[in-house]
Amino acid sequence: MTPFGIRKRLKALLGLEGGSSSAPQPPALPSYDVVFDCPDGSTYTVSAKEGDSLVYAAGRGPQPISTGCTDGTCGTCRVDVLEGAEFLTVADGHELKTKADVGVPDAQRLACQSGVLGAGVRVKITNILGEEPIDP
Ligand code: FES
């Protein structure tokens, strides 16, 4: 019996015959455009799914955001939110503690801890580590 035959037999035993197309699918998450202002003065726009972090969304463009930990403890990913701060997740106690501990200004957010919740977000990438844009 081939590996595919085993898979087919297991599906039959588990009552999954006919594939997963009949299984209910979760609704697709909405997407929102996010504008990033780069340190070199250029801008780019990416589409972020609801809940994507700014670090994750920026990774789809030519200028990534500097990161160290991506869990909100180093403060490397600090960005200036120029527009649409109300369409980002609220800074929680963990982010606020990190900002206080490492000296991130109150006006800045940690991009790895900021989830996109709506349209109209515009962010200035600070890139304190000085990464260069990625060549297309
Ligand atoms: S990458 Fe470390 S706080 Fe965001």
46 and 111 Cβ atoms separated by less than 8 Å: no
The pTM (predicted TM-score) of the whole model is 0.80
CA distances from 117 to 13, 42, 99 (A): 42, 24, 22
Q: Cα of 105 to ligand 1 centre, how many Å?
A: 14
Judge contact between 44 and 36, C-beta under 8 A: yes
Distance 120 CA to ligand 1 centre (A): 23
Please give the pLDDT value at position 23: 75
Ligand 1 pocket, residue 69 CB under 6 Å? yes
H/E element, 44: strand 43-49
Residue 76, Cβ neighbours under 10 Å: how many? 21
The HSE-up count of residue 48 (CA atoms within 13 Å, CB side) is 28
What is the distance in A from the centroid of ligand 1 to the CA of 111?
Answer: 7
Residue extents of the structural domains in the chain:
28-125
Q: What is the dihedral of CA 87, 127, 29, 51, to 10 degrees?
A: -60
Q: Please determine, for residue 128, whether its predicted confidence score (pLDDT) is greater than 90.
A: no
Question: Above 70 in pLDDT, residue 3?
Answer: no
Tens-place pLDDT, residues 25-70: 888 999 999 999 999 999 999 999 999 999 999 999 999 999 999 9
Torsion of CA 94, 100, 106, 108, to 10 degrees: -70
Picking from 20-34, 80-94, 112-126, which range would have the lowest pLDDT averaged per residue? 20-34
Residues 6+ apart with CB under 8 A from 73: 94, 98
With a 6 Å cutoff on the Cβ, whether 76 touches ligand 1 is yes
Q: Which fold has domain 28-125?
A: Ubiquitin-like (UB roll) (3.10.20)
